[in-house]
Structure 1
Amino acid sequence: MASSKTVLITGTSSGIGLAAAVAAARAGWRVVATMRDTGRAGALTEAAQAAGVGPLVQVERLDVTDPASVAECLDAVVAQHGRLDAVVNNAGSGVVGTVEQDGMAPVRAAMEVNYFGVVEVTRAALPHLRASKGRVITVTSVGGVVGQPFNEAYCAAKFAVEGFMESLAPVAATVGVHVSVVEPGAVASEFVASQRIDIPALLSAAGPYAPALRAYVERTQKSFAVAQSPAEAAAPIVAALDAEQPPFRIQTTEWARDFAGTKLADLDGAAVQELTGGWLR
């Protein structure tokens, strides 16, 4: 199985990243599937083999928070394959809480992975993408459009990513590089479980915020009970890889389109405040 198109995808040990890696390989891409801990590659390897695309999926270590790791991985990819045609920024981490109680550490940690990691990978990849007239596709979230209660750090980082990519897109276009962001809503993946959130402990420590947090948790648990699958969320990513002119902003469900649309049409912010405030009552 050979391919002349090479895509590097971050955060592929589970969830959307894993599904995107397998789907891209099935679409004919040679996939460099990266993760911080390659010891967690078993699920991806099994899924790729089951899909009949094992030879097209190459697992490599990449820690988006470590510039040396990013540079080493990208240099090795180009040395081996001769080109890089696309990057999918998918690696990320979530945090639930509020800044008065949690302090600055979770905010800085969320920005490091979800924002600065994306910027670093994109920066390092751009010379190679200029050469191939390639593209950058970044998985953000509807939380990068609509700020959500008890997701201050996560949404701030995703807002930053959206602002960065929206600003970069016309600049990158002048050198032949296409930029898109993909905005999933709730996705039934290991991303949620991997946050290892102890809900009873979180509620117990919430103090005056406990009633609002309890309402938020109950609403969120219901939304993830009917979430789309990682494969469904990954499909628009692969479509954007192959599309001649994909849009800048791509939502993965009709609900996500409606949710993002509420914000984009909400000039004074009242509609969003009414919507998300209702989650806490």
Structure 2
Amino acid sequence: MGTVRNKNKVADLIKKYPETFCCEILDVTDVPAIRNLVDDSFEKLGSIDVIISNAGYGLFGAAEELSDAEVDHIIATNLTGSIQLIRSALPHMRTQGSGRIIQISYGGQVAFPGNSLYHATKFGIEGFCDSVAQEVAAYNIGITLVEPGGARTEFRYGSAQVANLMPAYEGNPAHSFLNMLDASKSLAPGDPVRMATRIIESVEVEPAPMRMVLGSQALASTISTLKARVADYESQTDQAASTDFPVGE
């Protein structure tokens, strides 16, 4: 079972696997449609072992360059859509006593300029999954956040959306993404086939890994960012303690 917005993009899979690949149209900003499709899928298939939430797109530009409509749509797609898909699946997986949910989510630990709303959605969905994973572990439901780095997919070279750029930000780090989106200047290092293989392998790992980073550049960037964050927090030890009531009071 797979959902798309345009079946023409998976026509080859539909033709190759007519008996095993059931393709449905789904707009994840339509919450009732999500619920109906999930309910119908469980009813039709009986049980579903793995759900992969991969809907989303990149929106590039400085925060003030984005329109209200662009802000609302990326939140509805990347964040609310993912939340509602997971929420719709949980009652069924809880009833069957098992399941694995995989949420694709690079951008929830490291932030770059010119990606503020994309990062807002990814930091949000990571917090959601962190919490939900603790809620549903008792029902044998595992959740994995897959954090893939740059890959040679349409995310970077096809579906990415760019705001109405302002001259005020020319030469600003907020526009550094323009080089990244230009395939003639550099290609992403990630191989989507190898990434997909690692994701498929992860569903057999018990317990479910909470996070799985794919791509050496992505891992290096994540580690360096988290080390700097921890060091910053550790430097605040005395300040944090200064706001506590004294011991015994």
Return the TM-score normalized by structure 2: 0.82
The answer as to 2:151 corresponding to 1:151 is no
Q: 1:109-162: per-residue Cα shift (whole Å, max 9, x none)?
A: 111100000000000000111133101110001x11111110111111011011
**Structure number with higher helix proportion:** 1
Between 1:218-227 and 1:102-111, the stretch displaced more is: 218-227
What is the CA–CA distance in structure 2 between the aligned matches of 1:245 and 1:119, rounded to whole Å? Answer: 22
**Structure 1's 196 and 94: CA in aligned 2 closer, same or farther, altered over 3 A?**
closer
Alignment of 1:229 onto 2:191 = yes
Name the CA distance, whole Å, in 1 between partners of 2:160 and 2:181.
15
Q: Which residue of 1 aligns with 2:4?
A: 35
Give, in whole Å, the separation in 1 of the partners of 2:117 and 2:59: 7
The 8 Å contact of residues 59 and 74 in structure 2, kept in 1 or not, is answered as yes
Q: Distance in 1 between matches of 2:188 and 2:158?
A: 19
Q: Which ranges of structure 1 fall in alignment gaps of 5 or more residues?
A: 1-31, 271-281
* Residue 251 of structure 1 pairs with residue 213 of structure 2: yes
1:44 aligns to 2:13 (yes or no) = yes
- Counterpart CA distance in 2 for 1:160 and 1:235 is 26
Letter in 2 for 1:135: R
CA distance in 2, matches of 1:263, 1:214: 21
Determine helix, strand or coil for the equivalent of 2:119. Answer: helix
Question: Which structure: larger Rg?
Answer: 2
Q: What is the rounded CA distance, in whole Å, between the counterparts of 1:166 and 1:140 in structure 2?
A: 12
CA shift in 2, pair 1:79/1:268, >3 Å = closer
Task: Choose which of 143, 158, 163 in structure 1 pairs with 2:127.
Answer: 163
User: Is the CA contact 1:98–1:151 (under 8 Å) kept in the aligned structure 2?
Assistant: yes
Unmatched runs of 5 consecutive residues or more in structure 2: 233-249
Q: What CA distance in whole angstroms lies between the structure 1 residues aligned with 2:35 and 2:175?
A: 43
State the one-letter code of the partner of 2:133: A
Give the 5 Å matches for 1:13-32. 32=1
- TM-score, normalised via structure 1 length: 0.74
Deviation at 1:224, TM superposition (A): 5.3
Residue type of the alignment partner of 2:91: P
Q: Quote how far apart the aligned CAs of 1:269 are.
A: 8.0
CA pair 135-268 structure 1, distance change in 2 beyond 3 A: closer
Provide the aligned length of Structure 1 versus Structure 2.
229
1:102 aligns with 2:66: yes
CA apart distance, 1:236:
2.2
CA distance in 2, matches of 1:63, 1:159: 22
Aligned to 1:277: none
Superposition deviation, residue 56 in structure 1: 2.5
Does residue 63 (structure 1) correspond to residue 63 (structure 2)? The answer is no
Q: What is the CA–CA distance in structure 2 between the aligned matches of 1:120 and 1:226, rounded to whole Å?
A: 31
Q: Sequence identity, in percent?
A: 27
- Amino acid in the other structure paired with 2:2: A
Q: Deviations over 1:67-109 (max 9, x none)?
A: 2211221122122111122210001111011121223322221
Matches of 1:268 and 1:246, distance apart in 2: 25
Give yes or no for the alignment of 1:134 onto 2:99.
yes
Residues 195-234 of structure 1 aligned to structure 2 (within 5 Å): 195=159, 197=161, 205-212=165-172, 213-218=174-179, 221=182, 225-234=187-196
Question: Paired residue for 2:82?
Answer: 118
Alignment-mate amino acid for residue 209 of structure 2 = P
Contact preservation (8 Å) 1:263, 1:269: no
Q: Identify if the C-alpha distance between structure 1 residues 214 and 136 changes in structure 2 by more than 3 Å, giving closer, same or farther.
A: closer
